[in-house]
Every structure is written in structure tokens, then in C-alpha cells.
Amino acid sequence: MNKTAIVTGASHGIGRQLANQLTEEGWLVYGIGRTFDQEFLFEKVELDLLDTRALFTWLNKHMDRVDLLVNNAGCAYYGMHEEISSLQIQEMVRLNLEVPMLLCGKLIRCLRKQKGMIINISSACALHDAAHGAVYAATKAGLLSFSNSLFTENRKFGVRVCTILPDLTDTELYRHADFMPEEGSLSITAVSENIMQVIHSPAGTVMKTLEIQPQLSKIRRKKI
């Protein structure tokens, strides 16, 4: 039987690349996204992760076997903190932190049965100050802390938990930012390849955190 993976945020960016790579390696992949604008190799699941009832209804039908959960979906709004609306704060907290917590809680027993793996996509800003991205960084730091504690709870069951901390990556996540990379942003392919190395890591070893930095990095303000 093929190994089964659930990848959130699979309609674009890192999630789409990773879901395709896993499928090419023979995994049965359920890629969750709000909308899909093209055909993909994996099983598409059009679902709003913030609709908890719909999410749990779908999970209850697809929990026979889960070997890998990748919490990749996220959103970000940038600016001085007083410029970020309450709705934007709520969306970041829910999608970046609450949803991964809910998914892990719902699927952890399945993952224990398979001695599976959880990969949570955080951000390098979880480790550093993030002016103009205070709330986003806080949600990603929370995800890192949650991942570490979840691993401590479940290592005796054979479940591996890894947090990926990519720096500025060439994705749509920064469409709301007032800055843009001038050089040195990470490519989607590079980040996905690093994640695949974690998935292929030898049994009995755990890469708890992986920070991915470009060799060079330079950003500039967008012209208004």
C-alpha cells in the first residue's frame, strides 16, 4: 500500500511543489487548498481550512492511513503593528497556528500507528526580530514551540516532528508586504528539496528544526 500524505496550502508555492514531488515518488497525496487553477498530479481537495466543520468532515472520511502531515498553509500581513486590522490578526493566528494544532490533534493517533512524520512549515522570523511582521512572526514562533513540545510528547510512539524555518522565499506570501527581495530569495524548488531530505532522513533520527537561508539576502522597499 502506498504511503499517504496530507499537505495543506497545496494550490501553489511550496505546498504544490512538495505535493507533486511526493506523488512522483509514489505517495498518495491529498493536497488541500481553497482553489486550484490547474491540474496536478496529486489528489486535490478544495477546502477552506478555516471552516473547521468542513475540515473535520473531510478528515473523518480519510483517516484510515496517514503517514505524513505537512502543515504548510499560511498567510501574512505586513506593516506597523497598529496598521494591522483585527481581522488580519485573527486570520494569521487561526491559519498559521490554530489550524496546524487542530490537524495534529485530529491525526496524531493515525500517525502513531504508522510511526509517521509531521512537518510544520514555520519561518526564519520565528527565531529573529521581525519589524513590520510582528504578528506573523509570533504565530510562527508559536508553531515552532508547539512542534517541539509535540515531539517530546510523541517521540516514544515513533512519531517524528520537524519544523522547517525558511527565510524569504519566492512565493505569494509576500504579496501584502511593503518590501520585496532584491536578490537572494529562496526558490520554491530549493525549499521543497530540503524538505524532501528531511522526509528521507534515516529511521531512528529526527531533524527537529531546519532553518533554510539563501547564500545572499537583500530586500528593498516597494515603490508606492
pTM of the model: 0.91
Copy the grid coordinates of residue 129: 526580530
How far apart (Å, rounded) are the C-alpha atoms in residues 159 and 112? 6
Question: Using one digit for the tens of pLDDT, what is the confidence trace for 47-105?
Answer: 999 999 999 999 999 888 999 999 999 999 999 999 999 999 999 999 999 999 999 99
H/E stretch holding 59 reads helix 52-61
* Ramachandran class of 182: left when φ > 0, alpha when ψ lies in -120 to 50, beta otherwise: alpha
Q: What is the pLDDT of residue 8?
A: 98
Q: At 189, is the pLDDT very low, low, confident or very high (cuts 50, 70, 90)? A: very high
Residue among 145, 125, 147, 120 nearest 137 (CA): 125
Query: What is the total count of domains within the chain?
Result: 1
What is the domain extent for residue 206?
Answer: 4-221
Residue 219 and residue 51: Cα distance in Å, rounded?
35
- Alpha-carbon distance of 71 to 67, in angstroms, equals 13
Question: At 25, which CATH number?
Answer: 3.40.50.720
Looking at residue 143, its pLDDT comes to 98
Q: What span, in angstroms and rounded, lies between the C-alpha atoms of 110 and 177?
A: 38
Q: Which of the four pLDDT bands, split at 50, 70 and 90, describes residue 213?
A: confident
Distance CA 182, CA 190 (A): 18
